[in-house]
Structure 1
Amino acid sequence: MTKIPVIVLVGPTAVGKTELSVSLAQKWQGEIISGDSMQVYKGLDIGTAKITENEMHGIPHYLIDVVQPNEFFSASAFKDETKKKIRMIHSKGKLPFIVGGTGLYIQSVFYNYSFGTVSEDSEYRAKLEEMDAQTLHNKLLAEDPKSAKQIHFNNKRRVIRALEVIKLTGRPFSEYQVETKLSDEFEPLFLGLELERSVLYDRINRRVDQMMEAGLVKEAKALFDLSLGDMPATRGIGYKELFQYFDGLLTEEEAVWLIKRNSRHFAKRQMTWFRNRMKIHWINALEELTEEKANACISQFLKANPFDSDK
């Protein structure tokens, strides 16, 4: 069976993926699937730098605004929905693009990730739920250092699941998750945008200032007022820091400083993930020929993996 070609554009936050992806999709008759774990939530627009209708320039985008903030949308759901969207786009004679920075989600589409096939231990999970985030992460560090390095200690739900899987299977969660063999159905071209760290960090700082000017506080307050507890939508950078401001734990200035710092740290983690987990063609986002280089990679890729654009 001929594999479906897919263009995957990744990179850290604020590097310029959105604008480039639209230009590439216009040239190659593509349609875009968002590879961002937070853009699936309705109402989280400013803080996730969600693309606007005007910025889409008529290019269809998928997996944006698909669930309410009080709903769960997991990596497993992303994997299943993205595969459906790839097949649908391909059936229309269009070239599927995936664009985003959530490495785990994107990688799960093309590699044999296993999500949710291990049963649950509700009693053990309840005990874990009583522990604070740092204690849980220390426990994971002792039992599975590789997973502890990959999962942020604030992601309590993911840490708990890792510990639960370890208890039920006797295997490290890091070994259980992924195989290195690529999908038999899709043929991805991984393109990555990168920037010198100081330039990227400056972009991130300026973007946060722009978000604040655009009304991020109001958007975060609307989410805060829903009293969602520890739902995934509340964990996004830009929201969780402002929640502390609303709770009186930080000043607004301190919250903004934290958003910038956490965004920079997140960008660094993204780059570490992509460099260690995927074979990516890296392109500097500030080069004069950035788009030309991306187009050249796609052209060469499609010669070996053609798609029917005349359906």
Structure 2
Amino acid sequence: MSERVINVTNAKQKLLAVIGPTAVGKTAMSIALAKRMDGEIISGDSMQVYKGMDIGTAKIKKTEMDGIPHYMLDIKDPSEDFSAAEFQELARGCIQEISAKGKLPIIAGGTGLYIQSVLYDYEFTETASDEVFRRQKEEDLQRFGEAFLHEELTLKDPVSAARIHPNNVRRVIRALEIFHCTGSTMTEFLEKQKKVLQYDAALIGLTADRELLYERINKRVDHMMEEGLLDEVSRLYESGLKGVQSIQAIGYKELYRYLDGTVPLQEAVQELKQNSRRYAKRQLTWFRNKMDVEWFDMTPPVNTAEKEAEIFTYAAGKLKL
């Protein structure tokens, strides 16, 4: 396998994607496939890029990597923004780098838009700009405040508004500017684009019985708390980090409410579990509706070794390895 040479100029590069909802087993499966297929792994999680946000993002530990190189981890400070457009650029660079070594790039994660942006020929609206409009919004900010601008975004682009903290005024204004310039939200803009795969790709989806998955999620949250999630979030809170993109991640925003004195700790943990379950449901809906995925059921009493072999056989055949 290591002697395989990929022509990165005249042929589509080969790429394996391992996707699915949180807590379904993507990390373990991606490592098993990387060992079988001489691969290296790119994290497809929008929050694992942040340094110091390890427990809450279920970031893989060095000891768990089993010698497999991982990319797109710990590349941003929690104070920095990160977008699907930036992820697309960086991840494609990683794919190029891994392919040039004769290895198989494997992107593993659950952030649908980010993974989709890499796989397909999406063009983002970074060029959509109107300086006059932007200055007008900055004046509105001074006159009426952050809540006013965020409410305007909620009316025009509720999906972005739900994702962007009202205090993150730069991103609020940018989302309003995109809508002003294109007449579409970011999601609508991407939906209008033709989906042309940029790689010779095999898309592996892992799923499981929903009730079992929810039970796993609840247990994972309990384990995170035992591992020190509250201490991890407290360090970020005490550093003065507020109103930024990273803190809107599930596992952090809920415990921030506790640290703010808004809710008791037990209630914050229950919110964390509920939000994680809802996120898993949204992930499954996204992948099923928007991507051509071959699904594999991981519901116990599944034989993990047999399932791994089944997935390997499918992926190797699909990629003609």
SS in 2 for 1:191: strand
Report the residue type matching 2:277 in the other structure: R
What is the CA–CA distance in structure 2 between the aligned matches of 1:30 and 1:105, rounded to whole Å? Answer: 20
Q: TM-score, normalised by structure 1?
A: 0.88
Which residue does the alignment assign to 1:182? 196
1:22–1:56 CA contact under 8 A, matched in 2: yes
2:208–2:298 CA contact under 8 A, matched in 1: yes
Which residue does the alignment assign to 2:7? none
Residues 133 and 200 of structure 1: is their aligned pair in 2 closer, same or farther, counting only changes over 3 Å? farther
Which residue does the alignment assign to 1:220? 233
Which residue does the alignment assign to 1:261? 274
Q: 2:42 aligns with which of 12, 15, 33?
A: 33
Which residue does the alignment assign to 1:298? 315
Residues 112 and 125 of structure 1: is their aligned pair in 2 closer, same or farther, counting only changes over 3 Å? farther
1:133–1:154 CA contact under 8 A, matched in 2: no
Q: Which has the higher contact order (CA 8 A, sep 6+)?
A: 1
What is the CA–CA distance in structure 2 between the aligned matches of 1:133 and 1:100, rounded to whole Å? Answer: 32
Q: Please report how far the alpha carbon of residue 114 of structure 1 lies from its aligned counterpart in structure 2 after TM superposition.
A: 2.5
**CA shift digits 1:6-46 (9 cap, x unpaired):** 00000111111001110000000000000000000010010
Q: 2:284 aligns with which of 271, 275, 283?
A: 271
Gaps of 5+ in 1: 142-147, 307-311
Which residue does the alignment assign to 1:135? 151
Residues 131 and 112 of structure 1: is their aligned pair in 2 closer, same or farther, counting only changes over 3 Å? farther
Residues 284 and 242 of structure 1: is their aligned pair in 2 closer, same or farther, counting only changes over 3 Å? same
**CA shift digits 1:202-259 (9 cap, x unpaired):** 0000000000000000000001112222212111111111111111111110110010
Which residue does the alignment assign to 1:123? 135
Residues 138 and 122 of structure 1: is their aligned pair in 2 closer, same or farther, counting only changes over 3 Å? closer
Which residue does the alignment assign to 2:113? 104
What is the CA–CA distance in structure 1 between the aligned matches of 2:136 and 2:273, rounded to whole Å? Answer: 37
Which residue does the alignment assign to 1:284? 297
Q: 1:202 aligns with which of 200, 211, 215?
A: 215
Q: Please report how far the alpha carbon of residue 134 of structure 1 lies from its aligned counterpart in structure 2 after TM superposition.
A: 7.6
Report the residue type matching 1:191 in the other structure: I
SS in 1 for 2:162: coil
Residues 125 and 284 of structure 1: is their aligned pair in 2 closer, same or farther, counting only changes over 3 Å? farther
Q: Please report how far the alpha carbon of residue 140 of structure 1 lies from its aligned counterpart in structure 2 after TM superposition.
A: 2.3
SS in 2 for 1:40: coil
1:137–1:153 CA contact under 8 A, matched in 2: no
**CA shift digits 1:128-165 (9 cap, x unpaired):** 77336983464126xxxxxx4x5462434666544322
SS in 2 for 1:153: helix
RMSD, aligned CA: 2.1
What is the CA–CA distance in structure 2 between the aligned matches of 1:20 and 1:152, rounded to whole Å? Answer: 34
Moved more, 21-30 or 128-137: 128-137
Residues 225 and 269 of structure 1: is their aligned pair in 2 closer, same or farther, counting only changes over 3 Å? same
Moved more, 2-11 or 230-239: 230-239
Gaps of 5+ in 2: 1-9
What is the CA–CA distance in structure 2 between the aligned matches of 1:221 and 1:98, rounded to whole Å? Answer: 31
Give the number of equivalent residue pairs: 296
1:201–1:264 CA contact under 8 A, matched in 2: yes
Residues 93 and 38 of structure 1: is their aligned pair in 2 closer, same or farther, counting only changes over 3 Å? same
Residues 89 and 71 of structure 1: is their aligned pair in 2 closer, same or farther, counting only changes over 3 Å? same
Which residue does the alignment assign to 1:309? none
SS in 2 for 1:89: helix
Residues 133 and 203 of structure 1: is their aligned pair in 2 closer, same or farther, counting only changes over 3 Å? farther
What is the CA–CA distance in structure 2 between the aligned matches of 1:154 and 1:133, rounded to whole Å? Answer: 14
Which residue does the alignment assign to 1:94? 103
What is the CA–CA distance in structure 1 between the aligned matches of 2:263 and 2:291, rounded to whole Å? Answer: 38
Report the residue type matching 1:196 in the other structure: D
1:5–1:95 CA contact under 8 A, matched in 2: yes
2:258–2:268 CA contact under 8 A, matched in 1: yes
Which residue does the alignment assign to 1:252? 265
Report the residue type matching 2:106 in the other structure: F
